[in-house]
Amino acid sequence: MAPSRTDDSSHDGIGEEPLHPVQKSTQGGFPVPGVQNLSAVSVMVQDYFVSDNTWENILSHGKFDYIEEANFVHERGDFWLPIHFQNLPLPFKTVLGGPSETYPWTLSTETFKTKELGFLHGSCPFFGGRSTFWSSYNPQPTEDLMRDFPKSMIDATKKDGFWSAAEKLLNNAIDGLLKKRLGQIPTADSVEPAPLAVGPKSRTSTLRFNKFSVPGPLVALHESQRKLAEKGEGRPLELMINCTVTGLKADEGGVVRAIETNRGLLSWTDDNTKVVLCAGAVPNATLLLNSFEECRPSNGNVGKRLSGHVRSNITARIPREAIHWDGKNSLQLACTYLAGKDPTTHRQYHIGISAIHSPNPEADAEDAGRECPDYAAAATN
């Protein structure tokens, strides 16, 4: 008979009895063979993801500080890429878009016929979401754009040398040329090296370009919280995958006390649990519209407006002599950010400029594929 407990992990803090190790029924193929078919999820669930047995116990005894933020994260998809796809071998470029993108919402006929929404991207239904695909452009924010950030973070950006490492990485030959001609672009406000969401994994790492994505840091946070929980200095972070949130339920006072999922109803009785929606504008609006009558068009404003970026890609070639690169016979890349706004509508625009000099295209392909700041701007032979 199976032990009447959850799987061994960090679940003592959610209403369970302390866990004790149970001797395995097989060891090294004795007395019978072990599991014959493994998957990424079956391996990762042993230490990082909530198992089926534990999930059943959570449904009965769960108590959390946050849902989808600090204490319990619901992910609708599977575990797929452990890191940004550009950090992987070049053939992984084929996973972008198409089969890896889905549209978990329903559009009305009127909305579908709005031509601008033909550019709307879907969701990446995997652990880490679109972070495993996004470009690394991360424009340096002004203090005005950081108006709701913690003061300590704003103060850190003002320290000498805070941005210098990123600027050095990005090459500034392109920036120099654009700064000289900035006045020739009437609507442009500024040009600067385009800060990137990249960096070495440690201070001693020789890997100078590693694109950020959520899976690695989130699993690392799970591990650090587990260690803190063991010392009584924190609470565990629970990661639940393949669990789609389909609705929210509120009590008569309007306080959300339950989350409907495709794997059961998660509920709590305390008044401290906060639910944070992190799925993006369209999925979040869909969830609210499906959950609360007061959010629907006849009563509220949810879903009435949609804002976002419209993106175009332009590829051009310029003479090698026009830019004074260092290292004529080596792969060179540069990344620049040009910002401005329309003088009448005041709508903002952002132009990301990637420049690539590749004397040996075939030999450089692997490095260029990994290090190109924007996958959509990678040069072709």
Q: Which residues sit opposite 245 in a β-bridge?
A: 261
Residue 295 lies in a domain: no
Give the model confidence (pLDDT) of 322-374 as tens digits.
777 666 678 888 788 888 888 888 777 888 888 888 888 888 888 888 888 77
- pLDDT exceeds cutoff 60 at 8: no
Q: Is 6 or 75 the better-scoring residue by pLDDT?
A: 75
pLDDT of 20: 44
Closest CA to 222 of 74, 48, 83: 48
How far out from the chain centre does Cα 189 lie?
A: 29
pLDDT of 249: 93
Closest CA to 335 of 160, 139, 143: 139
- pLDDT exceeds cutoff 70 at 274: yes
Residue 17 lies in a domain: no
Rg (CA), the chain: 25
Residue 227 lies in a domain: no
DSSP structural state of residue 8: S
The pair of structure tokens assigned to 24 is 């395995």
List the end-to-end C-alpha distance of the chain, in Å, as a whole number.
62
Residue 103 lies in a domain: no
Give the model confidence (pLDDT) of 284-335 as tens digits.
888 898 899 888 877 778 877 776 667 778 888 888 777 776 666 788 887 8
Q: Which one-letter amino acid corresponds to residue 312? A: S
d(CA 23, CA 25): 6
- pLDDT exceeds cutoff 90 at 248: yes
Q: Is the dihedral of CA 8, 9, 15, 21 positive or negative?
A: positive
Q: How far is residue 122 from each of residues 101, 350, 361, measured CA to CA in Å?
A: 6, 22, 33
Choose the weakest-confidence range: 39-48, 167-176, 228-237.
Answer: 167-176
Specify whether the CB–CB gap between 49 and 75 falls below 8 A.
Answer: no
Domain that holds residue 170: 135-211+312-377
Residue 178 lies in a domain: yes
Residue 204 lies in a domain: yes
pLDDT of 11: 40
Q: Which residues sit opposite 341 in a β-bridge?
A: 348
* CA trace torsion 40, 46, 49, 54 (10° rounding): 130
Give the model confidence (pLDDT) of 126-182 as tens digits.
898 888 887 776 666 677 667 677 888 888 888 887 777 655 544 455 667 777 778
Q: Is 196 or 248 the better-scoring residue by pLDDT?
A: 248
pLDDT of 360: 85
Report yes or no on whether pTM surpasses 0.85: no
- pLDDT exceeds cutoff 50 at 381: no
Specify whether the CB–CB gap between 50 and 64 falls below 8 A.
Answer: no
How far out from the chain centre does Cα 381 lie?
A: 30
Q: Is 241 or 7 the better-scoring residue by pLDDT?
A: 241
- pLDDT exceeds cutoff 90 at 260: yes
When pLDDT is cut at 50, 70 and 90, the band that residue 217 belongs to is confident
Residue 365 lies in a domain: yes
Q: Is the dihedral of CA 360, 366, 368, 374 positive or negative?
A: positive
When pLDDT is cut at 50, 70 and 90, the band that residue 259 belongs to is very high
Q: Is 264 or 303 the better-scoring residue by pLDDT?
A: 264
- pLDDT exceeds cutoff 60 at 378: no
When pLDDT is cut at 50, 70 and 90, the band that residue 1 belongs to is very low
Residue 205 lies in a domain: yes
Q: How many domains does the chain have?
A: 1
Q: How far is residue 306 from each of residues 114, 284, 298, 299, measured CA to CA in Å?
A: 12, 12, 18, 18
